């Protein structure tokens, strides 16, 4: 299992070692001991899974303190463009976003620590996404940012006439107006 640093500190791509033969493949999707040796010490307590069709954008979501969540995101079926936005006030990368294509084929995972908003766009016909969280869902701490925020200017890779949003996501505030209690 390889940990790949991104352009934003604390945001990492996890790439498993895959063993293939005539039967198919095998890999460890998660190994706490291996990650702890690389100073990644989260204790995950909840798994979430979603299935979505092409053009669906989920997010940008996060939970405020004291129930903020670290997420480890991977794709079981299909392909997504996964995005994390640094919302930690005082961070040198505050307001910057990072995006990576995650797919069942490339088996990459994105480790998103507390203090980041998260969202993804489905690039394939369908996608099944699984993510581990180190804190339980707490609706009173639920927060988010509009996917099309002009300050962030994220290119989701979906034509505007093909974007599918939930009612909740269509009403999220802009980056500058979003609830935020993260500070470095």
* Residue of 42, 62, 118, 131 marked catalytic: 131
Query: In the annotation, is 131 catalytic?
Result: yes
Query: In the annotation, is 118 catalytic?
Result: no
Say which residues have a Cβ less than 8 Å from residue 180's Cβ, sequence separation at least 6. 64, 87, 89, 143
Angstrom CA distances, 4 to 1, 83, 85, 181, stand at 10, 16, 18, 28
* Residue of 61, 62, 118, 137 marked catalytic: 61
Strand partners, 32: none
Which residues are known catalytic residues? Answer: 61, 131
């Amino acid at each position: 299992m390889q940990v790949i640093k991104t352009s934003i500190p604390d945001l990492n791509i996890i790439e498993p070692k895959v063993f293939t033969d005539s039967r198919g493949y095998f890999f460890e999707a998660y190994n706490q001991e291996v990650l702890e040796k690389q100073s990644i010490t989260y204790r995950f307590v909840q798994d979430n899974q979603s299935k979505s069709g092409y053009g669906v954008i989920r997010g940008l979501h996060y939970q405020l303190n004291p129930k903020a969540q670290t997420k480890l995101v991977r794709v079981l079926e299909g392909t997504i463009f996964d995005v994390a936005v640094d919302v930690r006030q005082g961070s040198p990368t505050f307001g910057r976003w990072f995006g990576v294509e995650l797919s069942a084929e490339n088996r990459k995972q994105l480790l998103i620590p507390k203090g980041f908003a998260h969202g993804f766009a489905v690039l394939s016909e369908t996608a099944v996404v699984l993510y581990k969280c180190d804190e339980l869902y707490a609706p009173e701490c639920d927060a988010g940012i509009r996917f099309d925020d002009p300050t962030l200017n994220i290119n989701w890779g979906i034509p505007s006439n093909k974007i599918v949003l939930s009612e909740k996501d269509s009403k999220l505030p802009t980056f500058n107006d979003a609830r935020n209690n993260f500070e470095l």
